[in-house]
Structure 1
């Protein structure tokens, strides 16, 4: 016990020193020559690992941007000052999954524990971004001064429009899509703000609501020990329950990621909301849900993947098998850049600390498996056939009625892939906005996270070109809806779901 306490004390001490050393490094400028070397390093890694680097930008244009960037680096810069220069060039590649990460200040274990006992500052709200304006979309805790529909004019005495304009170059989508950015900015601007100004206990805010200006302070509230224990108990109860598993209870949003409802009295219409394709217990959920649908009188199925940022390729492949009545191939062979590229994947990062020794033991098998998983064809390197690429049969409980799919600019990655496949095969009618993810596929799957050697910024690079088995549109844009409907700000604030209502009206006509 004495040795254990000594070891624990030593571990905590070295951990604190490591955090302090890292944070001090964020304040130290890096020489211009070293930063230029980081630019070259990032460019080289992208050329080596990214299988579709010149999809939306030519090699000549990208080379020019990297060269031009280096000419602007003529003095030492701190890591995050360098980030503000390099991140926009990475965003110009127009791959929504590809982005540079800034160097965030690290927290000690005590600071992390203390934060867990506090409620957030800006994270307690959901926002809507319209141009350079930010509005409060939701205030679930009903905190004063932040009514739904309030416009945030300034924060910390800085005009919000200036902040949004500053953060815009860091946000990109797939290709030349324009619907994704406002949703992405609505989620990410508080993170950009925190990265720039640190974790604050309070912040001065100016809002405008019904032509009335209001200035006040948002404050970080503490959670009592009793409230914290009650919250943990309730979340544990929900997540461990069978329903919490199959519907994938999310402790952050305090809601289920998947759900099936029958919104009309005669149960002729089924509504399936999927907030994220997490993969967690998804097979059981779809097996149970489509068994229920098979026995129900439902002739119409509405699948809502608005604000679904994607996730598991296995989940959407499985879901698709419940939506068709004929054999199908869901995606094309996955392209990679070389035989060795998959060996660069973030293998050890996927294991928790306690399992890392096990990961070391298993690595030789992973190495051999990865090396053998790539085949060379005349037009490039591809992963060998597996269940994702093969011809698959529909499930016995597949739905045979009419399918509607709700999409918007925040339907991304896996959401775009399944929407694209359903539209191409004329199996569903799409309603809403153009998706944020591209119609013809995306580069994602496994990642190789490269740390720039001098600035220590991190650049995760997607290794796999994933494309649905469709006739490509070559539009370099998202999946276009069959019925385009974009809600107004007023409709959003009043929770008037005009897109879903359009489907109900169309079903009524169809009946």
Structure 2
């Protein structure tokens, strides 16, 4: 567990970096009593044991009881929200091995921290297996540690051991930990700070340009500025109209461009969520219509940042590419009919209870089944269906509804999954309805998937994600070049196949 004295240092720095708190009555340094924390924890355990459909899917009940008890015993005499979340809830949710069961800080904390830069470990690192490569240095005056250098240890902890420890605080589906390499790589200082704490200095082992291992003492990144010196603020630019902001947000969800040099459409879909709404549906329609009109023969579908969302949108995309009827799932069931008696702690719990009366039904196996998804067959699109060669780029963040899409198209002769194993489970996962539990004292949140899903024509339950047909791993050279190797290799394959056909 994280040593207690690190967190007071962190929160003290947070206060120093910004005293203008938007939540007037919120204090991130507030200590909750052991009794308050135990009440929150016991409530969470009761809800998970009675409502979580896959609590024992990858962790046997006796082992799960051990983790429940050990995390309960880790509750100290008093803890802050941050301490309780990372020291207690994070390791608990990790051991459930359900990627949709994770904790998050309270709304007050998120609002408080949104405009603050906190002290941290100074290096951003790309993590690949046991390898850590520098991608950025927050201490801009540091002339020694540069992009592309290999980091071998931090404060005496070697790479493989550090990554192993960090993974014990992060959620995952089954044993598909590929998503957590990407998470840590996205913000290494954040995860290192919350898991190991902060230090005034870090002893970092690295490999220099000549291949020699060395060590250096790096100061923590300290964002503190002289708050007593009034700085002239730049004039505020006028806020763009809402229509422009909405357009920019939609475009961040998806894009499509045609590379005429290789007669290939490149479609990027970063979400299937309701945020795309009807615009996502119309985007797919316009894109495949344009592809057919311009007689494009190849398609690269980039789903590497797609964490899932609306299964209906995932199914819609499948209909444009799959050449045979399909279902989304073989089975989808819950272990309870409603969220009662815990509805008041669950987001829209009462409203969900009403909806569950109409969409689910108890069957002979004693479980509550979501019959629509188990029965409904989807038909491929006849209009603007794409039959050309398709490469689907995937990696760890390809999750949930994206994994369902990958399972539906995998094995089709004109579709190649390229990249790395998905973070979402191939056999199945939990989802469909995923509200937040809000703990009454700390206001921390834990996601609660309500239905267990077993995929259509599923593979064996081995805890792994959907594997690529063409494995393309990240490399140190690729990081140093800031290269998109997966996109480079797939485009090269398309170009080579075209040259062969011309010959």
TM-score by length of 1: 0.74
- Change in CA separation of 1:475 and 1:128 when aligned onto 2, cut-off 3 Å: same
Of 37, 50, 53, the residue aligned with 1:51 is 53
Q: CA deviation at 1:346?
A: 8.8
Structure-2 residue corresponding to 1:168: 167
The residue aligned with 2:298 is 300
Residue 344 of structure 1 contacts residue 448 of structure 1 at CA under 8 Å; is this kept in 2? no
Report the secondary structure of 2:174's partner residue: coil
Show the counterpart of 2:419: 432
| Aligned partner (choices 408, 414, 419) of residue 421 of structure 1 | 408
- Rounded to whole Å, the distance in 1 between the matches of 2:168 and 2:388 is 44
Superposed CA deviations along residues 3-37 of structure 1, whole A, max 9, x for unmatched, are xxxxxxxxxxx9956314xx45x324414xx6555
What does residue 25 of structure 2 align with? 18
- Check conservation: 2:407, 2:426, Cα contact below 8 A: yes
Task: Give 1:203-282 correspondences, 5 Å limit.
Answer: 210-211=208-209, 215=218, 217=221, 219=223, 226=234, 228-229=236-237, 232-233=239-240, 238-241=244-247, 244=248, 248-249=250-251, 256-265=252-261, 267=263, 269-279=264-274, 280=276, 281-282=279-280
Whether 2:62 is the aligned partner of 1:76: answer no
Counterpart Cα distance in 1 of 2:233 and 2:433: 40
Displacement after TM superposition at 1:487 (Å):
2.1
Query: 1:502 is matched with which residue: 477, 486, 489?
Result: 489
Matches within 5 A, 1:32-431: 38-70=40-72, 72-73=73-74, 76-79=77-80, 80-83=82-85, 84-101=87-104, 106=109, 115=115, 127-130=125-128, 134-137=132-135, 145=142, 147-150=146-149, 167-187=166-186, 189-192=188-191, 210-211=208-209, 215=218, 217=221, 219=223, 226=234, 228-229=236-237, 232-233=239-240, 238-241=244-247, 244=248, 248-249=250-251, 256-265=252-261, 267=263, 269-279=264-274, 280=276, 281-341=279-339, 349=347, 368-379=354-365, 380-385=367-372, 389-424=376-411, 428-431=415-418
> CA–CA distance in 2 between the matches of 1:29 and 1:371?
39
Say whether the 8 Å CA contact 1:424–1:470 is kept in structure 2.
no
Maintained 8 Å contact 2:38/2:75: no
1:477, CA displacement in angstroms? 0.5
CA RMSD in angstroms comes to 4.3
Distance 1:169-1:48 versus aligned 2 partners, 3 A rule = same
State whether residues 93 and 171 of structure 2, in contact with CA within 8 Å, keep that contact through their aligned partners in structure 1: no
Q: Is the 8 A contact 1:343 1:367 kept in 2?
A: no
Equivalents in 2 of 1:328, 1:364: separation in Å?
33
The answer as to whether partners of 1:261 and 1:272 remain within 8 angstroms in 2 is yes
Measure how far apart 1:470 and its partner are. Answer: 2.1
Alpha-carbon offset, residue 377 of structure 1:
1.8
How far apart, CA to CA, are the structure 2 residues paired with 1:388 and 1:123?
51
Please name the residue that 1:465 is paired with: 452
| Distance in 2 separating the partners of 1:370 and 1:394 | 30
3-state SS of 1:442 partner: strand
CA distance in 2, matches of 1:204, 1:334: 51
Distance, in Å, in 1 between the alignment partners of 2:309 and 2:231 is: 32
- Is the alpha carbon distance of 1:93 and 1:223 closer, same or farther for their aligned partners in structure 2, counting shifts above 3 Å? farther
1:174-211: per-residue Cα shift (whole Å, max 9, x none)?
1122322211222354434565799x9x9878886855
TM-score of the superposed pair, with normalisation by structure 2: 0.75
Q: Is the contact made by 2:322 and 2:408 (CA closer than 8 Å) also made in structure 1? A: no
* Counterpart for residue 471 of structure 2: 484
**Which secondary structure does the structure 1 equivalent of 2:26 belong to?**
helix
- Post-superposition Cα deviations, 1:387-413, rounded to whole Å, max 9, x if no partner, equal 994434425111011221111123222
Shift in CA distance, 276/137, structure 1 to aligned 2, threshold 3 Å: farther
Change (3 A) 1:399 1:151: same
- Alignment-derived partner of residue 11 in structure 1: none
Please say if residues 346 and 447 of structure 1, whose CA atoms lie closer than 8 Å, have aligned partners that are also in contact. no
* Secondary structure class of the residue paired with 1:229: coil
Distance 1:316 1:37, change over 3 A: same
Gaps of 5+ in 2: 1-20
Instruction: Give SS of 1:409's match.
Output: coil
Count of residue pairs brought into register by the alignment: 458
- Do the aligned residues in 1 keep the contact of 2:303 with 2:402 (CA within 8 Å)? yes
What is the distance in 2 between the residues matched to 1:399 and 1:287?
A: 11
Query: Equivalent residue of 1:412, what SS?
Result: coil
- Show CA shifts across 1:284-329 (max 9, x none): 1101100001112322211111232222222211111111244332
1:449-489 per-residue CA deviation (whole Å, 9 max, x = no partner) reads 33445665432211122343223232221101112221212
Measured after TM superposition, the shift of residue 421 of structure 1 is 1.4
> Quick check: 376-385 or 52-61, which moved more?
376-385
Q: Which range moves more in the overlay, 339-348 or 387-396?
A: 339-348
